[in-house]
Structures are given as C-alpha cells and as structure tokens.
Amino acid sequence: MITADEVLDALSGVRDPEIDEPLTDLGFVAGVHVDGATVDVHLRLPTYFCAPNFAYLMVADALEAVRALPEVRDVTMTLDDHFASGEINGAVATGRGFEAAFPGESTGELPELRDLFTRKAFTARQSRLCDALLRAGRTVEELADIRLGALGGDPDVTRCIELRERLGIDASADSPAFVLPDGSALDAQGLSRFMRVARLVRLSLEGNAGLCRSLLATRYGIPDPEETAAA
C-alpha cells in the first residue's frame, strides 16, 4: 500500500519551474492524505496572485509525479488559496491544458515558458559550479577546457546533466563541462563573459527562492525553512 512518505518522496522530485527547487523544500506541499490506493494532495503558493501559468505547471507536474507511483490508482491534486484555483484545478484534473483553463487569455500551451525556465536553471547551476571551482583554485582557462565527466557527481553536477538532457545538449562525459544554454562551447574569454551574466541569473533565482519562503511563512504562519535549518 502506498504511504504518505512515498508520495512526498515523489513530490520532492517536482521542482518549482521558475526557481528550480523542490516543492517539498519550498514548503509548497500543504498536505498529503492517503486512503488505500487513493491520494489527495494539497498545494499552496506564497501569494494569492502568483502567476497562473507558473501555478498550472507546478500542479500539472505534481499530478504527473504522483500518478507515476505504481500503487496509486486515483489522485486528486488541489491548489489552494489562489485566485485561479478553480480554473487550474479543473484543467489539470481533466487534462485540458492551460489554454482551456483561460480561453482567450493564452496564445497556446507552455513549452516556450518551460524552456525559458529550464535555460535559466541551467545557467544558474553552471554559475554555482564555476564559482565553486574558481574558489578551489581552478582558472577560467582550465574551466573552459574541463570535460563534464571530470566534474564528479555532486547534486549540482547531476542537476546540470538533467537540464542538459532536457535542453538537448550533449551530456556525455567527454563533452565540454560549461556551455551556453544552446549547447555552444565556450573559450576562456567567452566563459568569462557568460559567467558575469550567469551570476546575475543565479542571484535572481536564489533571491526569488528566499522571497517565496518568507512570503509563504508569513502567509500561513509557518516557520521559514531556511531559518529553521539555520537554527
């Protein structure tokens, strides 16, 4: 029989599409109830007016992750306390898509938005890896020559490989470790320019993540996960 912990584990693999952090780490999972093979999940967001396209992606991804569990037969995925909860929950449950939820307000489905978020996440992860290597004494010239397989297997490397595969970028061990989001290789000069932009992207995502945690904590009167972890 499926357990709530197994459902939460599946949801830990679902990331906020904009800031690339797990829903469970951000506190976006409000509750999980399991009754045999039936699962009821409630999600929440930091504000009542979070962008509906982002909210739709989050709910749809969460539903797909829980439905993939072999012992689950029926899933109800509910976004609470959002101005478009009814439209989003209904469209996700019936598989009608974002455009059906907001007729006349969308130019289509969301692949371009998801691709944009993926590129930003990939850029930010590369920034984190580059800065860690630079702090460890590597030079920019060495980073331009290093191969992906030489980076090891820490979580940032693993996530970079996942994002490369999603973007259709070569993720083989002998491919360049650091590339543009379109897969183009970078020499030392190009990498230096890219990293200036990449750091700004990373700081933006990290700042948004911190803001989301604080707003969620204030809205629902719950401990801020970052403050709790630091205590």
Residue 41 domain-assigned (yes or no): yes
Whether 189 is in a domain gets the answer yes
Segments forming the whole domain that contains residue 76: 4-101
What is the rounded CA–CA span in Å between residue 195 and residue 127?
Answer: 6
Please report, for the domain that includes residue 55, its CATH number. Answer: 3.30.300.130
Please indicate, yes or no, whether residues 23 and 61 belong to a single structural domain of this protein: yes
pLDDT over threshold 60, residue 229? no
Are 170 and 197 members of one domain? yes
Residue 58: per-residue pLDDT: 95
Q: Is 212 helix (H, G, I), strand (E, B) or coil?
A: helix
Cα→Cα distances 100→42, 92, 186, 230, Å: 22, 10, 42, 43
Straight-line distance from the first to the last Cα atom of the chain, in angstroms, rounded to the nearest whole number: 36
pLDDT tens digits along 17-38:
899 999 999 999 999 999 999 9
pLDDT tens digit sequence for 35-64: 999 999 999 999 999 999 999 999 999 999
Mean pLDDT throughout 138-143?
A: 97
Residues 86, 116, single domain; the answer is no
Calculate the CA 199 to chain-centre distance.
18
For residue 148, being part of any structural domain is answered with yes
Residue 42 — left, alpha, or beta (φ > 0 → left; ψ -120 to 50 → alpha)?
beta
- In this structure, are 149 and 120 located in the same domain? yes
Same domain, yes or no: 8 and 77 = yes
225 — pLDDT class (breaks 50, 70, 90): low
Report yes or no on 224 lying in a domain.
no
Identify the band that residue 188 occupies on the pLDDT scale cut at 50, 70 and 90: very high
In a domain, 162, yes or no: yes
Residue ranges in 21-149 assigned as alpha helix (H): 23-26, 52-67, 85-94, 98-101, 111-135, 140-145
How far apart are the C-alpha atoms of 36 and 48, rounded to whole Å? 32
Sorted by sequence, the CB contacts under 8 Å of residue 136 that are 6+ apart come out as none
**How many structural domains compose the chain?**
2
202 and 115 assigned to the same domain: yes
Claim to verify: residue 83 and residue 141 sit in the same structural domain: no
